[in-house]
Amino acid sequence: MNFIVHYDIAALILTATILVHYYLKDRIYTKTSGMFRLLIWIHLVACLFDLGTAVMINNAGFLPNWLQYLLNVIYCIAVYGRTPIYLGYLVCVTKGINTKWDKRDHITVWGLLLIEMIIIVTTPVTGFVFSFDSAGQYHHGPMFDVLYGITIFYYLVAAVRTVKYRATLKKTQVTTVHIYTAMNIVAILVEMISNHFLVAQFVASLAILLIYFSLENPEDYSDKKLAVFNRDGLVLRLTGMVDKKKGFRIMGVPVQGLKYLNDTIGVDNNVLLLKEIAEFFCHIGGVKNVFHVSNFGFAIIYKNDVFAEDCLIDAIRQRFEKPFYLNNMEISLEAPMAVVHYPEDAETIENLIDLLDYAMNEAAHGEDHVIVRANEDLLNKKRREGQVLRAMKTALREQTFQVFYQPIYSVEEKRYTAAEALIRMPNTEIGFIGPDEFIPIAEKNGMILEIGEFVFRTVCEFMVKEQIWEKGIENIHVNLSVVQCMQEKLAQNFLDIMEGYELPCSRINLEVTETAAVVSSECLSANMNKLVANGVRFALDDYGTGFSNATSLIEYPYNTIKIDKGVVWAAMENENAMKVLTHSVAMIKSLDMNIVAEGVETLEQANELTNMGCDYFQGYYYSKPVNAEDFVSLLDKNCA
């Protein structure tokens, strides 16, 4: 027999190149990538021994027979061990995050391999696969084609498994796996038909190259611009770590201050800044442990050790106390931190990531430099939020949300001339939940858009149905959340709804808080101008809380200012607070705006506020928020 070995030489070069490239790139080592590495290495051995044995067979008698047997046994182990390892690799890939193998997986992958190995290892005695005669000539044994058959069977199992689990893979990956299988089967058939033509290793090398680029490409889980791993990388890394069951900790840093810079220094410059931050994190945490997990958020995995944690916190604090520089511009950023421990705080990857996101969000919205730890309090808060969220979903699905109305009293007219619409959630499994609790949660996950539209529609429908203006109510106030104010289509959407109900725009007064005005200034302005042009009025809610400043009074076309109940109550208790309130009222009056005082609970408060110059009152002294029916009866008395 005379083997043609050129393809084997090419296969060897190609495989060595893949290996070098593989180890040169930063990558995350997991059980799946471990299988792939094993696949390349065993393939390299197969190429080497295919070449070696072929050359020796071509030169019969050059080596003693026992050595020929040994080399050929090694060659067969590598070649026939390769296919089960490929199937094992596919099992890992198709299992996704859940990498645990069950008994069936082990039997599928290793079962036939055992039979193959027995056949191969006993060959020097039995001559099952091959034999050498006394002249050193090579001969195929009776089981030679059986091994080919088993290999083809393995490939068919791989193809079936890929089809079965195709939903867990990308389309290109499914195609790659099928091409891999098909190429190998064709190569085996070619070798079976023309024995001396050794193409199988070369074709297998090409197939491995395909898999390498399509399934084992580190770019899929890297952030190329920042030269760190991305969120997928974190999932992958955690997969490997959780499997090992050894403790570790994750630090999440949602860098603050970059969001606003996007507008001023431009997105490209912002990327440069992010890169500098990423480099700093890599410097303290090691390149393989830093992940860019959200727009301005990073995560660092570190040792399960208090000392390591303290060092990390100190290093981050110290760096962010100093400014960053960009084109000679000094930029101050903040680094709130969130710490999650494995396995104490969460045991599965999903829960770990979920908790990390939650803690990072809490840290981002918390006070400066406070470290949020995933302790019992945080877990309880998160659990409660989950319950509230489910209650809201149920209320939306079953349409059980209600709108209550709290009348607003006019000092001049001595009757109710307006009302505020306030949402109520029916009693839930976990008891009563007030809007102060559920609205912020609805804002966090975007559900507020649906709830906000529901309230607005309900109010429009109610006003038209009751012809409420005939009962003395000139307009109804509807609260707008920050998230709604950031919707470009808000104005048009509301105008369409009012048109649908044939409700004049002047019957609606939208309440906006100062925070909304700060966060969504441009979008809010555009929405407001469009709505005001159509006759909708606006009120500034919760005046006197947060960072009130006079500019926001002038900047936006408000027609009414609502003084927060806290401010009203403080003034009744404290002389200085009273002075501030008196001056505020005078200032607002001088701007020709109406004033509604909230939280009026007693006649004394009402009298004092009247003397000060407030035009309208809202509070328990007049009425608590009541349902639509009660509100209408209240109004019947109002007009009588």
Determine the 3-state secondary structure of 224 from DSSP: coil
CB of 601 to ligand C2E, least distance (A): 5
Q: Which two tokens stand for residue 578?
A: 């009273």
Does 289 bind ligand C2E (CB under 6 A)? Our answer is no
First to last CA, the chain: 115
Does 481 bind ligand C2E (CB under 6 A)? Our answer is yes
> Out of Ca ion, ligand C2E, none, which partner does residue 623 contact, by CB within 5 to 8 A per kind?
none
Residues 216-235 that bind ligand C2E (CB under 6 A): none
Among 124, 233, 297, 599, binds ligand C2E (CB under 6 A): 599
CB of 102 to ligand C2E, least distance (A): 49
Stretch that binds ligand C2E, among 27-35, 36-44, 194-202, 594-602 (CB under 6 A): 594-602
Among 618, 631, 632, 635, binds ligand C2E (CB under 6 A): 618
- Contacts of residues 540-549 at CB distance under 8 Å and 24 or more positions apart, as own/partner, are 540/511, 540/512, 540/513, 540/514, 541/479, 541/511, 541/512, 541/513, 542/513, 542/514, 543/514, 543/567, 543/584, 544/581, 544/584, 545/514, 546/513, 546/514, 546/515, 547/514, 547/518, 548/514
State how far the Cα of 136 lies from the Cα of 60, in Å rounded to an integer. 5
Which one, 339 or 510, has the nearer CB to ligand C2E? 510
CB of 394 to ligand C2E, least distance (A): 18
Which one, 11 or 419, has the nearer CB to ligand C2E? 419
CB of 452 to ligand C2E, least distance (A): 6
Residue 388 corresponds to which amino acid?
Answer: V
Residues 357-416 that bind ligand C2E (CB under 6 A): 406
> Out of Ca ion, ligand C2E, none, which partner does residue 79 contact, by CB within 5 to 8 A per kind?
none
State how far the Cα of 145 lies from the Cα of 438, in Å rounded to an integer. 70
Stretch that binds ligand C2E, among 72-80, 103-111, 156-164, 619-627 (CB under 6 A): 619-627
Among 30, 410, 479, 527, binds ligand C2E (CB under 6 A): 479
- At residue 391, φ and ψ (nearest 5 deg) are -60, -40
CB of 440 to ligand C2E, least distance (A): 9
Determine the 3-state secondary structure of 229 from DSSP: strand
**Which residue(s) pair with 510 in the sheet?**
478, 538
State how far the Cα of 640 lies from the Cα of 65, in Å rounded to an integer. 118
Which residue's structure tokens are 């290495």? 41
> Out of Ca ion, ligand C2E, none, which partner does residue 436 contact, by CB within 5 to 8 A per kind?
ligand C2E
Instruction: Label residue 411 exposed, middle or buried (CB < 10 Å: 0-12, 13-18, 19+).
Output: middle
Does 417 bind ligand C2E (CB under 6 A)? Our answer is no
Which residue's structure tokens are 């950023």? 333
Task: Please choose, from the candidates 402, 520, 398, 422, the residue with its C-alpha nearest in 3D space to the C-alpha of residue 476.
Answer: 422
Which one, 177 or 455, has the nearer CB to ligand C2E? 455
Stretch that binds ligand C2E, among 213-221, 305-313, 335-343, 599-607 (CB under 6 A): 599-607
Give CA angle at 333 (330, 338), nearest 5°. 165
Which one, 346 or 422, has the nearer CB to ligand C2E? 422
> Out of ligand C2E, Ca ion, none, which partner does residue 439 contact, by CB within 5 to 8 A per kind?
ligand C2E
Coarse DSSP helix, strand, coil percentages of the chain, rounded to the nearest 5 percent: 60, 15, 25
Binding residues (CB under 5 A) for Ca ion: these are 479, 511, 541-542
Does 619 bind ligand C2E (CB under 6 A)? Our answer is yes
Which one, 39 or 403, has the nearer CB to Ca ion? 403
Which one, 363 or 408, has the nearer CB to ligand C2E? 408
Which one, 254 or 544, has the nearer CB to ligand C2E? 544
Determine the 3-state secondary structure of 24 from DSSP: helix
CB of 365 to Ca ion, least distance (A): 21
Draw the binding track, 543-582, toward ligand C2E (x: CB under 6 A; -: no contact). ----------------------x-----------------
Which one, 61 or 546, has the nearer CB to Ca ion? 546
Which residue's structure tokens are 């501030």? 580
Which residue's structure tokens are 């009293």? 409
CB of 420 to ligand C2E, least distance (A): 6
CB of 369 to ligand C2E, least distance (A): 28
> Out of ligand C2E, Ca ion, none, which partner does residue 435 contact, by CB within 5 to 8 A per kind?
ligand C2E
Determine the 3-state secondary structure of 482 from DSSP: helix
Half-sphere exposure of 634 (CA within 13 A, CB side): 22
> Out of ligand C2E, Ca ion, none, which partner does residue 601 contact, by CB within 5 to 8 A per kind?
ligand C2E
Which one, 250 or 600, has the nearer CB to ligand C2E? 600
Residues 423-452 that bind ligand C2E (CB under 6 A): 423, 434-436, 439, 452
Half-sphere exposure of 73 (CA within 13 A, CB side): 18
Draw the binding track, 174-203, toward ligand C2E (x: CB under 6 A; -: no contact). ------------------------------
> Out of ligand C2E, Ca ion, none, which partner does residue 8 contact, by CB within 5 to 8 A per kind?
none
State how far the Cα of 50 lies from the Cα of 52, in Å rounded to an integer. 6
Per rule CB under 6 A, count of chain residues that contact ligand C2E: 22
Residue 455 corresponds to which amino acid?
Answer: V
Which one, 34 or 566, has the nearer CB to ligand C2E? 566
Task: Please choose, from the candidates 509, 510, 477, 466, the residue with its C-alpha nearest in 3D space to the C-alpha of residue 639.
Answer: 466
Residues 315-334 that bind ligand C2E (CB under 6 A): none
Does 455 bind ligand C2E (CB under 6 A)? Our answer is yes
Q: Which two tokens stand for residue 387?
A: 């319950």
- Alpha-carbon distances of 480 from 321, 492, 516, 541, 631, rounded to whole Å: 37, 15, 9, 10, 22
Task: Please choose, from the candidates 281, 185, 305, the residue with its C-alpha nearest in 3D space to the C-alpha of residue 227.
Answer: 281
Binding site for ligand C2E (CB under 6 A): 406, 422-423, 434-436, 439, 452, 455, 479, 481, 541-542, 565, 598-601, 618-620, 625
